[in-house]
């Protein structure tokens, strides 16, 4: 596959998929390139996008029986609460209201799950400009050598600076790790604790789910589940 600034970070995102991943969600999946790469790593994968045109294209190159492409707004679509082991959003967060989207991702992620955001930020500081100036010739060289893959999905300029995103994510996703990246992007990784540290008895909070907690996992909506279990969990 040829290259673009989003494809460049696919391997990074895929490297964060937790072992024994049952449910993965690709937010703003566009034409579904990353969604398809998730198929071998998760029992079920949902790619959601609000754009009809790119979802049509994603569906025509459907890459596995465990993939579902869903047309909808990730903020309002009735996705099961705390169901996803892995949520990824590449170049999508800046299309959404920042706080609301971070809260939504947090609510959809199950305890023990991993959220990965590869995002764009508004270039505002001398360091931002220095990174951009470094990225441009490198980007041109790679595109020359490998060819450029069109994103083929709606694009938007970022509104928030890196400082704003850092501040909001520190509050809403405590313990998240945000790193400035090349090609006008940052990465954010958040691992949701199985139990908040304050509730965990010492040394036990990260040992995995017990049988009781596993069985308490909410049933998922039949829209998404192959067994047709009736949904008891959609908020």
Ligand X SMILES: C[S@@+](CC[C@H](N)C(=O)[O-])C[C@H]1O[C@@H](n2cnc3c(N)ncnc32)[C@H](O)[C@@H]1O
Nearest distance in Å: CB 60, ligand X: 16
Q: Are 2 and 149 in contact (CB under 8 A)?
A: yes
Percentages helix, strand, coil for the chain, rounded to the nearest 5? Answer: 35, 25, 45
Q: Where are the alpha helices (DSSP H) in the chain?
A: 10-14, 33-38, 52-60, 98-108, 126-146, 162-172, 211-215
Nearest distance in Å: CB 67, ligand X: 15
* 40/128 Cα distance (integer angstroms): 36
Q: Which is nearer to ligand X, 30 or 113 (CB)?
A: 30
DSSP code at position 221: P
* 213/208 Cα distance (integer angstroms): 9
* 137/133 Cα distance (integer angstroms): 8
Q: Which is nearer to ligand X, 189 or 194 (CB)?
A: 189
Nearest distance in Å: CB 193, ligand X: 26
Where along the sequence are the contacts to ligand X (CB under 6 A)?
Answer: 6, 28-30, 48-51, 54, 73-75, 90-92, 95-96, 151, 153-155
Q: Which is nearer to ligand X, 151 or 231 (CB)?
A: 151
Nearest distance in Å: CB 207, ligand X: 34
Q: Which is nearer to ligand X, 71 or 200 (CB)?
A: 71
Q: Which residue is nearest to ligand X (CB)?
A: 28
Mention every residue, 6+ apart, whose C-beta is less than 8 A from residue 120.
Answer: 91, 93, 94, 158, 184, 185
Q: Which is nearer to ligand X, 28 or 113 (CB)?
A: 28
Nearest distance in Å: CB 37, ligand X: 11
Nearest distance in Å: CB 171, ligand X: 22
Query: Radius of gyration (Cα) for the chain, nearest Å?
Result: 18
Q: Which is nearer to ligand X, 83 or 92 (CB)?
A: 92
């Amino acid at each position: 596959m040829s290259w673009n600034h989003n494809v460049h970070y696919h391997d990074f995102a895929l490297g964060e998929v937790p072992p024994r991943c049952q449910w993965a969600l690709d937010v703003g999946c566009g034409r579904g390139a990353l969604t398809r790469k998730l198929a071998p790593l998760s029992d079920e994968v949902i790619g959601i996008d609000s754009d009809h045109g790119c979802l049509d294209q994603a569906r025509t190159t459907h890459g596995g029986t465990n993939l579902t492409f869903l047309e909808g707004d990730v903020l309002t679509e009735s996705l099961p609460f705390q169901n996803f082991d892995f949520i990824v959003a590449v170049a999508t967060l800046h299309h959404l209201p920042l706080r609301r989207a971070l809260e939504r991702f947090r609510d959809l992620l199950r305890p023990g799950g991993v959220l990965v955001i590869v995002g764009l930020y508004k270039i505002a500081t001398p360091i931002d400009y220095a990174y951009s100036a470094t990225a441009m010739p490198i980007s041109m060289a790679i595109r020359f050598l490998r060819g450029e893959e069109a994103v083929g999905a709606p694009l938007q300029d970022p509104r928030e600076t890196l400082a704003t995103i850092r501040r909001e994510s520190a509050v809403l996703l405590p313990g998240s790790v945000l790193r400035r990246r090349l090609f006008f992007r940052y990465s954010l990784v958040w691992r949701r604790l199985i139990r908040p540290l304050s509730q965990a008895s010492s040394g036990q909070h990260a040992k995995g789910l017990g049988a009781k907690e596993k069985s308490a996992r909410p049933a998922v909506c039949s829209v998404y589940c192959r067994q047709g279990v009736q949904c008891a969990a959609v908020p």
